[in-house]
Chains A and B, each alone.
Chain A
Amino acid sequence: MLKINNLHVSLEDEDKEILKGVDLTVDAGKVHAIMGPNGSGKSTLSYVLSGKEGYNVTDGSVELNGDDIMELEPEERAALGLFLAFQYPIEIPGVGNMTFLRTALNAQRKARGEDEISATDFLRLVREKAATLKIDSDMLKRPVNVGFSGGEKKRNEILQMAMLEPKICILDETDSGLDVDAMKLVANGVNALRDEGRGFLVITHYQRLLDHIKPDVVHIMADGKIIKSGGPELALEVENNGYSDLLDEAS
């Protein structure tokens, strides 16, 4: 489904290489986790995959279901089914959450040649999904993420994911800033979306999120590369021993 091949990326403004040859394949129905110390390039990977400006891809390729997506605009990648749950969701004053959701959903449907969703169907759908994430109607009416707590922002990301039904979901440190209850709520939202046809790439510092979202494969990233891949036990190893042993092993 998502195939990252020898990806090299540097910052546009300075001649600094952040990703130094990332190889990673996420198959449909699987949950892959990426763990790694600060500055290892995890967030850069998520931004590059979703098409944020400011990065130069100097080598390698990324395919989503066979399409090379690196030349595509963010909205085109979204329409192909790529979704990034932001580490720091952006506040957008003056744009209502519902308007935002509906515009996004219809834009994607249109890009795929589907009909727009009717106002009543949309309302029914959004209410149903919001309820499972404990998002009340007030939060839906407010401007996008404005005045939301950290937990509310993350739940709002998962709501967007649930509405847009992407094929590959990238979660960038979705657990950061969440207490245990909020993390469970978010994890339940993610687990509800686990499906044969959908892949996940879960980026996290800590093992605890992976207690709730059980990964199939765990990758350790350091200095712009995947240095080790393994099963869920790899996350436990990090939790117990930290990254230093793994880093030593790799060097």
Chain B
Amino acid sequence: MEMSKHNTDAELEVKKSTVLNSGWSAKARSDAFDRIAKSGLPTARDEYWKYTNPKTLTNKIVEKASLLTVNESDIFKSVSPLKIVFVDGKFSPEKSDKLILSGLSIERLDTIKKLDLHWAKELYGRYEKLGQLSVSRPLAAYNTAYANEGLIIHVTDRVERPINIIYEHEDEYSDVILHHVIKIDSNAELTLLESGAAAARLNQVLEVEVNEDAKFNHIRVLGRDHERRAATHIFGELSRSSTFKSFTLTVNGILTRNECFLNIAGDDAMAHISGACVGDGDFHHDDTVFVTHDAVGSESRQVFKKVLRNGATGVFQGKILVKPDAQKTDGYQISQSLLLDEDSQFLAKPELEIYADDVACSHGSTSGAIDEDALFYLTSRGISKPVAIDMLTMAFLAEAVDEIDNDNLKDVILELLSGWLERRR
């Protein structure tokens, strides 16, 4: 209580001295610091934060987030992944598997950051910086400047066994910064699974370089602790004929801002970003996506579905930017919300910015309620109203979940969703 008497509105401190003397990453951190110094931390007045108030993400004091009593660590066990566990942002060697997997190397930022030289020097902060050219993303720059933990992964081959980063949350006031860097060599492939609440407040950056003909599959499930807050950023760079697929399930959480910035730099590359979220009450969920096509014949899809009830808020800001030489671009974007009552709201800002003349781009955004005719049809066959509403809700979410190729992983997601719906009947 003492603390709340003063300084409750103070922002996070940004001091350059704290980012220096950090080995190979010093330059990247110093540059990132300069970016925040220039832009400042986000405020509710910023256009990019018009629909989501960043105050609790930038405040010095972290709001309490009660712990979920259910352990969600093993949700992906059906695909036997390599488990890497962080507890409130600290790597846990006891809970993790050995960081050894054929076809890739895994290192921890914490243990390598004092080194003078490391290959990650070329990548760390690079794609975050590139993502700042269009719109400033100060929380990501802050992350690059201050992150002490995270994984540095170099994938050199097609790796079949997925990696599962599990983020456990045990401290009700934990304030965590994580920064992962993944480099996927030509023709290599990685499936990354992420799960768990991570912290009371999480600031996470994931930078991924997908080289020629390489593949990145990403499925994440943000933990369902009701009061947790998270600001996450994915920065992806796609080379020729590469594939980038990322799906995020968000169930609960008082505040989530998921940004994804992808730069399609190589011809014939493919990027699919999708998400499904279900939220109740003071749930606020924001997907902010920016895809740049800067190569010929590339394809991108953005598919986001939100189910909102009891006054929950959903936000979608999605942009497709097609540069002048990016001919034959195929861009698709859809964001839809299902509002289960009149108190909930969905705020969408879909944008297309196209400078090439031979492209096929489409976008759509809708908000709707449960279809009464469909509901009557189902109930007239004997299905109870709550079950019928759940069936229609799952049907609504299906388009986003169908973006997941792997059937086992799709089943995991469907089970989590139907479990959530069932608990709220």
- Across the interface, B387 reaches (CB within 8 A) one of A52, A78, A83, A107, namely A107
Residue A246 CB within 8 A of the other chain: no
CA distance A111 to B387 in the complex (A): 13
Return chain A residues, CB-CB under 8 Å to B392. Answer: 92, 94-95
A24 CB to nearest chain B CB (Å): 20
Asked if B382 CB lies within 8 Å of chain A CBs, one says yes
Interface residue B385 (Cβ < 8 Å from any Cβ of A): yes
Q: Which B residues lie within 8 Å of A92 (CB)?
A: 374, 377-378, 392, 395
* Nearest B residue (CB) for A79: B382
**A71: shortest Cβ distance to chain B, in Å?**
15
Whole-angstrom CA separation of A79 from B394 in the bound complex: 24
Whether B377 contacts A78 by the Cβ 8 Å rule is no
Is B384 positioned at the interface, with any CB of A under 8 Å from its CB? Answer: yes
Question: If A86-B377, A90-B377 touch, does A103 touch B383 (CB 8 Å cutoff)?
Answer: yes
Q: Are B378 and A164 in contact (CB under 8 A)?
A: no
Residues in A neighbouring B424, C-beta threshold 8 A: none
Is A174 at the interface (CB under 8 A from chain B)?
no
CB of B374 within 8 A of CB of A104, answer: no
The answer to whether B398 has its CB under 8 Å from any CB of chain A is yes
| Nearest neighbor of B396 in chain A, beta-carbon distance | A94
Contacts A53-B372, A95-B395; is A104 near B382 (CB within 8 Å)? Answer: yes
**Identity of the chain A residue whose Cβ is nearest the Cβ of B379 in the assembled complex:** A74
A91 — nearest CB in chain B belongs to which residue?
B374
Number of A residues whose C-beta is below 8 Å from B?
A: 31
B391 within 8 A of A: yes
Contact: A94 with B384, CB < 8 Å? Answer: no
Query: Cβ of A108 < 8 Å from any Cβ of B?
Result: yes
B5 located at the interface, meaning its Cβ lies under 8 Å from any Cβ of chain A in the complex? no
* CB interface residues, A 28-65, toward B, < 8 Å: 50-53
Q: For the complex, is B423 an interface residue (Cβ under 8 Å from A)?
A: no
B373 touches A90 (CB 8 A): yes
Q: Mark A152-175, 1 if CB is under 8 A from B, else 0.
A: 000000001000100000000000
B394 touches A94 (CB 8 A): yes
Q: CA of A53 to CA of B396 in the docked complex: distance in angstroms?
A: 23
Q: Is B381 an interface residue (CB 8 A)?
A: yes
* Contact assessment for B374 and A90 in the assembled complex, using a CB-CB cutoff below 8 Å: yes
Q: Is B406 an interface residue (CB 8 A)?
A: no
CB distance from A90 to the nearest CB of B (A): 4
- B78 to chain A: which residues have CB within 8 Å? none
When distances are taken between beta carbons in the complex, the residues of chain B under 8 Å from A84 are 380
Distance A89 CA – B380 CA, assembled complex (angstroms): 12
Smallest CB-CB separation from A109: which chain B residue? B382
Say how far A174's CB is from chain B's closest CB, in angstroms. 15
A78 to B379, CA, bound (A): 8
- Distance in Å from the Cβ of B391 to the closest Cβ of chain A? 5
Q: Which residues of A contact B377 (CB under 8 A)?
A: 86, 89-90, 92, 144
Decide if A53 touches B387 in the complex (CB within 8 Å). no
Q: Give min CB distance, B389 to chain A, whole Å.
A: 12
B48 proximal to A (CB < 8 A): no
Complex: A49 Cα to B101 Cα, angstroms: 64
- Is residue A73 contacting chain B, with contact meaning CB distance below 8 A? yes
Closest to A52 in B: B376
| Residue interface mask A94-133, B partner, CB < 8 A = 1 | 1100011001110110010000000000000000000000
**Which B residues are in CB contact (< 8 Å) with A231?**
none
Bound CA span A143–B376, Å: 17
Known: A75-B385, A78-B382, A103-B383. A53 touches B395 (CB 8 A): no
Identity of the chain B residue whose Cβ is nearest the Cβ of A166 in the assembled complex: B382
Question: What's the nearest-Cβ distance from chain B to residue A13, in Å?
Answer: 13
Q: Does A230 contact B (CB under 8 A)?
A: no
B158 to chain A, nearest CB (A): 32
Give 1 or 0 for each of B398-424: 1 = CB within 8 Å of chain A CB. Answer: 110000000000000000000000000
**Which A residues lie within 8 Å of B385 (CB)?**
73, 75
Knowing A52-B376, A90-B373, A92-B377, the reply to whether A104 touches B394 (Cβ < 8 A) is no
Task: List residues of chain B with CB under 8 Å of any chain A CB.
Answer: 372-374, 376-385, 387-388, 391-392, 394-396, 398-399
* Residue contacts A-B, CB under 8 angstroms, 27 given: A52-B376, A53-B376, A74-B376, A75-B379, A75-B380, A75-B381, A75-B383, A90-B373, A90-B374, A92-B377, A94-B392, A94-B398, A94-B399, A95-B392, A95-B394, A95-B395, A100-B378, A100-B381, A103-B383, A103-B387, A103-B391, A104-B381, A107-B383, A108-B381, A108-B382, A143-B395, A164-B382
Other than the given A74-B380, A94-B398, 11 more pairs (CB < 8 A) read A51-B380, A74-B379, A78-B380, A78-B382, A92-B378, A92-B392, A100-B381, A100-B391, A107-B381, A108-B382, A164-B381
